Chains A and B, each alone.
Chain A
Amino acid sequence: MVSRHTGGAAPDGRQGRFVLVGQRLRRLRKERRLTVAELCARAGIQTADQARIEKGEGRMSLDVLFRVLAALQVDGVEFFAAVERELSAPRESKTIREL
């Protein structure tokens, strides 16, 4: 059995998911003492993209997601596990699927 995280994708928590992912990315960027512009230069993405993500304003392309995680040198699995823990604390059964 493989348990798989949903990227913080709680069925009833769409806005919460984006906000939480954005907040965590922002926190990680600040921990690494990077400005938005510096991170974007490192990741090769537009500053508007990163600003939008950090504000939790919706979806992103695969490219942007992978580039930001790489630029922040984040372990993606741990990152999303933490997002999910925070998002799903009151309704854990809804956010982890058993495959």
Chain B
Amino acid sequence: MSEMAAGGIEVGAASDYEREWQRAVAANEAGRLEEARRHLAAALVAAQRDGDEELVDRAFCNQAALAIALGEGNDPVPRLCEILMRNRSQVSGFLAANNIARACELRREHAKGLFYARLARDRAAALERPDWLAAANNQIANLLLGDSRFEDAAASYREALALVPEAGAARQVAYLVNLGYCELVLGNFRGGFTLLYRCLRAARRNSWVRLESAACIDLCYGHLELGRLEAAERHGRCGLALAERIGESDWIKNALYLLGEVAVLGGSASRGYAWFHELQRRYYPAQPHLPELLLSVDVRKLINLKA
């Protein structure tokens, strides 16, 4: 929901709908998702009561954004497609296209997602909304990153960043973390480390646990690539602890894997085995030979931690 909420809806409908929507945004930003869900549902009811079909579409898009982020409920994509096809307004068109793109990203349907993200970008441009344009560019970048198109993704993150005015905002830091990872993979270690340490400081200052975890794991990767094993282990352990706290399983997998690599490259096959075994035990129980595989084969150059 964050991208939608950051964009907002034009003032003018100072109604029950607007009030509920504002409450939903506040609850979402505070992480009270259940409360946000209730307010979004109330906003939809208010829009239906007003008989304003455009507002109903927007309310549905807002509800869908949260449902997609949480991965729950009925699939909202068919109705979002209907909203997009009806083309009642650029606003509902942007919201629908951006949400479909996000749903595609989560389903790893990157090509389809790119199509919709570009539609969202066109609508944001037509609306002259830099915040929405930034959100659409970020969505495009995420999809390109998922497809391991690092240079293109980095270019899109830079476009998104140029449109985010507030330095140090969570949204800006989120873009910077992914750009930092792209830079590391592309071999620009100095640039990547500069961005990631900047993100780490901002995340720690603001207690943004998700962003701190992401920055730590990416820093672990970067230091590992340069053979700085102590720094890699320190950041890897920190990233793992934070990822465990927020239950981000993909990040936990990455951290366990990277810590195993750190140990193996440091000469300790037994410690490496222990990390790889933990990875296998928790996430790949049907593949008992996985620790031996990872001990025997260095797959770092095949892996995209953000795919």
Contact = CB atoms under 8 A, between A and B. Distances in A.
B186 to A, nearest CB: 11
Interface residues of B, number: 36
Given A7-B299, A80-B297, A59 B269 contact: no
Contacts of B292: 77
Interface size class of A (residues with CB under 8 A): 20 to 34
B297 A4 contact: yes
B35 interface: no
A57 B111 CA distance: 14
B214 to A, nearest CB: 15
B254 A62 contact: yes
B304 A59 contact: yes
Contacts, number: 99
B283 to A, nearest CB: 8
Nearest to A17: B301
Interface string B206-218: 0000000000000
Interface of A: 2, 4-9, 14, 17-18, 21, 45-46, 48-49, 52, 57-66, 69-70, 75-77, 80, 97, 99
Given A7-B297, A9-B300, A48-B108, 14 more contacts: A4-B264, A7-B302, A9-B301, A14-B301, A18-B302, A21-B302, A45-B108, A48-B109, A52-B147, A60-B303, A60-B307, A62-B254, A70-B286, A76-B293
